[in-house]
Amino acid sequence: MINQKDIVALSAGNVNTEELPWIPYFGEAKFKLIKANPVTGQTITLLKVPANMQLPAHFHPGSVIVYTVQGEWRYMEEDWVSKAGDVVYEPAGSTHTPQGLGTEDVITFNIVEGTLDYLGENGEVIARDGWESFLKKYHDHCAAEGIEPVDVTQF
């Protein structure tokens, strides 16, 4: 039996996303890096995609949870549409091509376990993003814009 006194209590953290910059991603798409976990490889981001923009096809070796904050979007491989307030669960090993719909920018809150592997026309991996590359993009953007980065590897 575990004794409550033997458990190390960690403090909860709060991130003010208004203090985080939007970072260029693909074309006009942007992201805010909320959390990069070097231990588990998990990233937590906000993603902002212009209406009707299609992002590259990608593969997830880990699971993903996406909460739609604003707008409408879908995976070209599916027949459903995610709207504000909807949650999408992507099992590990899934491949899909996101596309914004309607006239409003799409904003999603994303919890990604592991990497995003971007795929070429023949299904080959042409690029990969994970906690390290997202963190590098965040730090590079902050340096270029003269912004003091927040330590997003800890809460």
67: CATH: 2.60.120.10
Does residue 53 register a pLDDT over 80? yes
- Distances 60 to 9, 21, 99, 121, 147 between C-alpha atoms, Å: 32, 25, 17, 17, 31
Each residue's pLDDT tens digit, 21-32? 999 998 899 999
Residue 139 within any structural domain of the chain: yes
- What is the total count of domains within the chain? 1
* Domain span including residue 26: 19-145
Residue 62 within any structural domain of the chain: yes
Residue 60 within any structural domain of the chain: yes
Residue 11 within any structural domain of the chain: no
Residue 33 within any structural domain of the chain: yes
Residue 1 within any structural domain of the chain: no
pLDDT at position 129: 93
The sign of the torsion formed by the CA atoms of 2, 63, 136, 104 equals negative
Residue 152 within any structural domain of the chain: no
Residue 150 within any structural domain of the chain: no
- Residue 11 binned pLDDT confidence (cut-offs 50, 70, 90): confident
Q: Mean pLDDT across the chain, nearest whole number?
A: 92
In degrees rounded to 5, what are phi and psi of residue 109? -105, 120
Over residues 91-99, mean pLDDT: 94
- Residue 4 binned pLDDT confidence (cut-offs 50, 70, 90): low
Q: Is beta strand 58-60 parallel, antiparallel or unpaired with respect to 94-96?
A: antiparallel
